[in-house]
Structure 1
Amino acid sequence: MSGKPSAIIFGAYFHLVQVEKTFNIARLLGVEAAKRKVKAYVRLQHPFYECKEKGTHDEKEDVKPDDVLGTWWHESLRMLAAIDDLNLVILRTAMVYGPYVHYGVVMGFLAVAAVYGYIKQPMKALWSPGKHPTHTVHVEDVAGGLWACAEWMAKIGRTEGNAIAGEEILFKNEKSKVKQVEGMIPADHKCIAPLFNIEDDSQVTMADVGNIFTSYFGTTFEFHNLVVNTMAKFKLDDTVEEINESHVGYWTEMITKSNPPVPNTPYTAYMDIYHLKKHVVSFNAQKLKEIVDYKLRRPKLDHETVKEVIDKLKAEGSWPNLEQTP
Structure 2
Amino acid sequence: MADGSSKPNVLICGGVNTYSRALAAFLVPLEGEPLVSHLRIVDKYSVVPATTYLGAEFPKVLAKPQVDYKQANLTVPSIVHSIFDPPEGKGPYDYVFDLTGEVRHDRTEMILINTTCNVARMLGQEAAERKVKAYVRFTLPFYETTSKGTHDEKDDPKPDGTIGIWWHETLRMLAAIEDLNLVILRVGFVYGPYVEFGDITSAITVGSVYGYLKKPMKSVWSPGKNPTNTLHVEDLAGAAWASAQWIARLGRKEADILAGESIIFRNDKSKVSQVEGMPPHDKKLIAPLFNLVDDSNSTLLSVGQTVTSFFGTTFDFFNLGERTMYKFMDDAVEDINEHHVGGWTQMIQSSNPPIPNTPLSAYMDKYALEKHIVAFSNTKIKEVIGYNLKRPQFNHDGVKEIVDKWKEEGSWPIL
Q: Give identity over the alignment, percent.
A: 59
Q: Distance in 1 between matches of 2:118 and 2:184?
A: 17
Query: Which position in structure 2 is the counterpart of 1:133?
Result: 227
Q: Which shifted more, 297-306 or 70-79? A: 297-306
Matched, 1:266 2:342: no
Higher helix share: 1
Conserved 8 A contact 1:75-1:172: yes
| Superimposed CA distance per residue, residues 282-316 of structure 1 (whole angstroms, 9 cap, x where no aligned partner) | 11000000011100011111111111111122222
Q: Distance in 2 between matches of 1:186 and 1:252?
A: 51
RMSD over aligned CA atoms reads: 1.5
Q: CA deviation at 1:238?
A: 3.4
Q: Distance in 1 between matches of 2:190 and 2:127?
A: 26
Matched, 1:246 2:343: no
Query: Which position in structure 1 is the counterpart of 2:183?
Result: 89
CA, structure 1 residues 260+203, in 2 after alignment: closer, same or farther (shift >3 Å)?
Answer: same
Query: Which position in structure 2 is the counterpart of 1:36?
Result: 130
Q: Which shifted more, 13-22 or 298-307? A: 13-22
Letter in 2 for 1:23: C
| Superimposed CA distance per residue, residues 131-164 of structure 1 (whole angstroms, 9 cap, x where no aligned partner) | 2111111111011111110110111110100000
Q: Distance in 2 between matches of 1:139 and 1:301?
A: 11
Query: Which position in structure 2 is the counterpart of 1:294?
Result: 387
Q: Distance in 1 between matches of 2:140 and 2:106?
A: 22
Q: Which shifted more, 91-100 or 164-173? A: 91-100
Letter in 2 for 1:310: V
Matched, 1:79 2:167: no
Q: Distance in 2 between matches of 1:315 and 1:50?
A: 36
| Superimposed CA distance per residue, residues 163-208 of structure 1 (whole angstroms, 9 cap, x where no aligned partner) | 0000010000000011111111110111110000111111121111
Conserved 8 A contact 1:133-1:203: yes
| Superimposed CA distance per residue, residues 23-42 of structure 1 (whole angstroms, 9 cap, x where no aligned partner) | 11111111111121111000
Q: How does 1:1-326 map to 2 (within 5 A)?
A: 14-233=108-327, 235=328, 237-322=330-415
| Superimposed CA distance per residue, residues 56-110 of structure 1 (whole angstroms, 9 cap, x where no aligned partner) | 0000001100010100000000000001111100001111111111211111011
- Secondary structure at the aligned position of 2:251 is classed as helix
- Secondary structure at the aligned position of 1:31 is classed as helix
Higher RCO structure (Cα 8 Å, ≥6 apart): 1
- Secondary structure at the aligned position of 1:72 is classed as helix
Q: Distance in 1 between matches of 2:315 and 2:363?
A: 18
CA, structure 1 residues 177+112, in 2 after alignment: closer, same or farther (shift >3 Å)?
Answer: same
Q: Which shifted more, 245-254 or 136-145? A: 245-254
Q: Distance in 1 between matches of 2:140 and 2:302?
A: 21
Conserved 8 A contact 1:256-1:263: no
CA, structure 1 residues 155+319, in 2 after alignment: closer, same or farther (shift >3 Å)?
Answer: same
Letter in 2 for 1:277: E
Query: Which position in structure 1 is the counterpart of 2:21?
Result: none
Query: Which position in structure 2 is the counterpart of 1:5?
Result: none
Q: Distance in 1 between matches of 2:244 and 2:207?
A: 36
Q: Distance in 2 between matches of 1:131 and 1:236?
A: 25
Q: Distance in 2 between matches of 1:263 and 1:12?
A: 29
Q: 5+ unaligned residues in a row in structure 2: which ranges?
A: 1-104
Q: Distance in 2 between matches of 1:177 and 1:270?
A: 35
Q: Distance in 1 between matches of 2:205 and 2:106?
A: 32
Letter in 2 for 1:260: P
* Aligned residue-pair number: 311
Conserved 8 A contact 1:108-1:271: yes
CA, structure 1 residues 178+12, in 2 after alignment: closer, same or farther (shift >3 Å)?
Answer: farther
Q: Which shifted more, 223-232 or 153-162? A: 223-232
Q: Distance in 2 between matches of 1:12 and 1:50?
A: 18
Q: CA deviation at 1:46?
A: 0.6
Conserved 8 A contact 1:244-1:271: yes
Letter in 2 for 1:151: Q
Q: Distance in 2 between matches of 1:279 and 1:310?
A: 25
CA, structure 1 residues 291+49, in 2 after alignment: closer, same or farther (shift >3 Å)?
Answer: same
Q: Distance in 2 between matches of 1:131 and 1:167?
A: 27
